Amino acid sequence: MSQQPIQNFYKDDVAICYGCGKHNADGLHIKTFWDGEIGRSTFTPRPEHTAFPGFVYGGLIASLIDCHSIGTAIAAAYDAAGRAPGTDPEITCVTGNLNVSYLKPTPMGVELVLEARIKEMGERKIVVTCSVYAQDVETVRAETVAVRVPSRMFKKEAD
Ligand SMILES: CCCCC/C=C\C/C=C\C/C=C\C/C=C\CCCC(=O)SCCNC(=O)CCNC(=O)[C@H](O)C(C)(C)COP(=O)(O)OP(=O)(O)OC[C@H]1O[C@@H](n2cnc3c(N)ncnc32)[C@H](O)[C@@H]1OP(=O)(O)O
């Protein structure tokens, strides 16, 4: 298991994502630990993440899956290239597709565990599956298409 989450290696000037940017003070700070096979993450929803009494808002869960799956794709892509995370040239992905199945209501008040795996590793397209567990019960399952993009693609012209 990597000691540091992949998000620690995102470049400072772009690490402002609401879900996982270390420089977004109001963000969720989702962290992905990749062990070469599985990307793992944990998150304990706060009261403001409630959907209805006692249960977690599905949009919050989709956000957790989104950034964790993209983080898993990026970590796995560095691995597949035989490179240490964060080394140049930077590997960056965006979400092309996010498909979430809510299997059971997800309870508030417990730590959620996310496990993500690589289903397909292409040149540009990386397909990631992800399950969310609450007290060892799988409540949500998702499949995400991560698409590799040039890391400077979305930078502002002035930068
Ligand atoms: C929104 C800006 C984000 C900018 C980020 C940039 C830098 C950040 C740098 C470091 C940060 C590090 C990590 C990122 C941190 C957080 C991630 C948060 C996740 C998000 O919150 S991110 C926001 C939501 N996200 C978007 O805002 C995407 C808008 N969109 C586009 O920018 C294009 O639409 C794009 C690039 C997706 C594709 O455009 P394209 O022209 O490059 O793609 P192309 O046709 O060449 O396809 C190549 C292969 O991807 C497959 N493919 C393409 N699109 C697909 C789709 N929609 N569904 C399923 N598969 C798809 C094809 O089937 C083909 O597959 P194959 O190779 O197998 O043939």
Which CATH number fits the domain that encloses residue 122?
A: 3.10.129.10
Complex ipTM over 0.85: yes
Write out pLDDT tens, residues 100-129: 999 999 999 999 999 999 999 999 999 999
Number of domains in the chain: 1
pTM of the model: 0.94
Domain that holds residue 76: 6-149
Residue 109 CA to ligand 1 center (angstroms) comes to 34
Residue 155 lies in a domain: no
- The per-residue b/e assignment along 46-59, b for 16 or more CB within 10 angstroms, e otherwise, is eeebebeeebbbee
CB 84 within 8 A of CB 78: yes
Residue 1 lies in a domain: no
Residue 85 CA to ligand 1 center (angstroms) comes to 20
Residue 157 lies in a domain: no
Residue 30 lies in a domain: yes
Residue 158 lies in a domain: no
Residue 136 lies in a domain: yes
